[in-house]
Amino acid sequence: MRTFVAALMTGVLTATTMVSAAPPVHAAPTTTQWATCQDGFECATVQAPLDYDEPQGKQIDLALIKLPATDPGKRKGALFVNFGGPGSDGVGKMRDRARVTFSDDIRAHFDLIGVDMRGIGRSTAVHCFTTEHEKSEFFGSIPDFPFGVEQEHTFMDSAAELGRRCQEHSAELLNHMSTANTAHDLEHVRVALGEPDMNFIGYSYGSVIGATYANLYPQRARAIILDGALDLVGNSRGHGDEAKTLPVDVRQDVAQAAQDTLTRFFTMCEAAGEKCAFAQGGNLAGKWSELLAHLQHTSIEHPDGITYTYSSLVSMVYYNLFKPVKTWPTTAAILQKLYETKNTNNAEVVATAHESYQTNPHEAYNAIQCLDSDEPTKTSLYSELGASQDKKVPGFGRLVTFNMMPCAAWPAEDADRYTGPWNAKFAHELLVINTTHDPATPHTGAKMATKQLGKARLLTLDAPGHTTMYSPASACVEQARLAYLVSGTMPAKNKVCPADEAPWH
């Protein structure tokens, strides 16, 4: 998950589908024309229906990347991977992370497949601006989240304007961007590649793709891992009437999850002593509170030239909690330097511009999440809730409240979106994995998802980090993941794995 302002394909492959009620019936596989695309990877493009209710109608492109299995004699099939989002590109992430995230054993048994899902990156993409400059200028004028009445009005106007611009530039695609259509695309690609069944790992939002796919195609689900899982009911319609008054990240209790992770950060930092810069003087939680209180009235210029406001500091810390925990010492050093200079390098409070970006994660994020999740539409509610949540969980409460602001007036809807039920009769049991301290997908959500899925088992890593991709390494988790993927062996019920390392050791 991220805020709405928060990253060369060759060859052609085509396939046609025949539609039935739900899910669609996909055609027999065709020949994939893979082409090498540097560093041992192969790339291709699949054409898929824009609307699976009209399979012979307009087609869209889906960009693929593959890292072939290193031991063809041990090959079990293709392992599809989604690294999260919504909106992250699968091709670039696979190129960056394939050899880092996946062990030699997994890479020996599986081709690793990344896909830029519909609306994203190199595939037929959602566009909301005419030029890169226009896009960067628009997002660069908006704070990570608003602080103060004036910023709130500007933020709300910008959120509504984003929807209008997306509708202007991508109206047709915008109405077919739900995760249900992404799951249909995944099945379409599986058939096109000639794979007999589905092996899938979904991190964070990718867990929603995996759960949706498994429920639409339960008999094709050979091995589905949901790493960093969400409360599936809470993510879609909410429990009871809560979606009328609570944005999705508020009802998922993401702010408290972030605070719990930050508290774990403070505990580990303090235990590290002089190895952790922010441990100087002790009382880390108190120092953090001092920084937040100070930034409500002014800003702080870091010695490296970056000016931090209330919203930019909270966002920096929040998203740094997403990063691999080995980067936490850097975050601690930044916090300590800001604390030391808070009374000397002050400046007028202004909205902090964002760095420009080259793909379309921000547009795609809203295009997907606003179709998947029911959100409050009354804008004044966000102001009231932002204030109350900020008191409950300072900083993070306001951030997660305004996260879904564009959805209040989003101009599109997908008639084919999937909101449950989530407990289909899967061919094989699903594996849910979660850390105990995840800032975006809390462990409580993983427990709820496991219960909602029915035929699923939860493996817990006792460590901080957003999914096991960014948490400390754990041989216990790696062994369980490998056994499940290769042979379908499930870990023991209620198994908790230890981490093998810590950020400051």
Average pLDDT, the chain: 91
Bin 382: left if φ > 0, else alpha if -120 < ψ < 50, else beta: alpha
Tell me if 79 is assigned to some domain: yes
Cα(158)–Cα(420) distance, rounded to whole angstroms?
32
Crossing angle for the helix pair 443-453 and 206-216, to the nearest 10 degrees: 0
Q: If you compute the radius of gyration of the chain from its CA atoms, what whole number of angstroms results?
A: 22
Looking at residue 30, its pLDDT comes to: 57
Task: Tell me which residue has tokens 């606003």.
Answer: 370
Dig out the tokens for 327 from the structure. Answer: 């980067």
Sheet (strand 59-67) strand order? 35-36, 42-49, 59-67, 110-116, 77-82, 198-203, 221-227, 430-437, 456-464, 496-498
DSSP 463-488: EESSHHHHSPP-HHHHHHHHHHHHH-
- Which helix (H) or strand (E) element contains residue 436? strand 430-437
Dig out the tokens for 101 from the structure. Answer: 């995230």
Looking at residue 141, its pLDDT comes to: 87
Residue 347 has pLDDT above 70, yes or no: no
Which stretches of 240-309 are DSSP H helices?
A: 248-251, 254-272, 284-295
Dig out the tokens for 488 from the structure. Answer: 């379908």
Dig out the tokens for 46 from the structure. Answer: 């699949």
Tell me if 341 is assigned to some domain: no
Q: How many CB atoms lie within 10 A of CB 172?
A: 11
CB 321 within 8 A of CB 262: yes
Band of the pLDDT at 25, cuts 50, 70, 90?
Answer: low
Peptide bond just before 472 cis, omega within 30 deg = no
Q: Which residue has the higher pLDDT, 87 or 13?
A: 87
Q: Looking at residues 83-106, what average pLDDT do you find? A: 95
Tell me if 431 is assigned to some domain: yes
Number of domains in the chain: 1
Contacts of 316 (CB under 8 A, 6+ apart): 308, 331, 334
Cα(65)–Cα(114) distance, rounded to whole angstroms?
5
Cα(286)–Cα(80) distance, rounded to whole angstroms?
44
DSSP 93-142: HHHHHHHHHS-HHHHHHEEEEEEE-TBSTTSSB----SSHHHHHHHHHTS
Tell me if 120 is assigned to some domain: yes
**Exposure string over 61-83, b if 16+ CB within 10 A, otherwise e:** bbbbbbbebbeeeeebbbbbbbb
What is the Cβ-side half-sphere exposure of residue 397, based on CA atoms within 13 angstroms? Answer: 13
Could you tell me the residue range of the domain that residue 53 belongs to? 34-126+175-237+418-498
Looking at residue 3, its pLDDT comes to: 54
CB 465 within 8 A of CB 325: yes
Tell me if 69 is assigned to some domain: yes
Q: How many CB atoms lie within 10 A of CB 232?
A: 26
Band of the pLDDT at 442, cuts 50, 70, 90?
Answer: very high
Q: Looking at residues 286-295, what average pLDDT do you find? A: 96
Residues 167-205: tens digit of each pLDDT = 999 999 999 999 999 999 999 999 999 999 999 999 999
pTM: 0.92
CATH number assigned to the domain comprising residue 91: 3.40.50.1820
Phi, psi dihedrals of residue 433, rounded to the nearest 5°: -125, 135
Q: Looking at residues 136-157, what average pLDDT do you find? A: 89
CB burial class (10 A; 0-12, 13-18, 19+) of residue 202? Answer: buried
Residue 352 has pLDDT above 50, yes or no: no
Task: Tell me which residue has tokens 């029915």.
Answer: 454
Residue 76 has pLDDT above 70, yes or no: yes
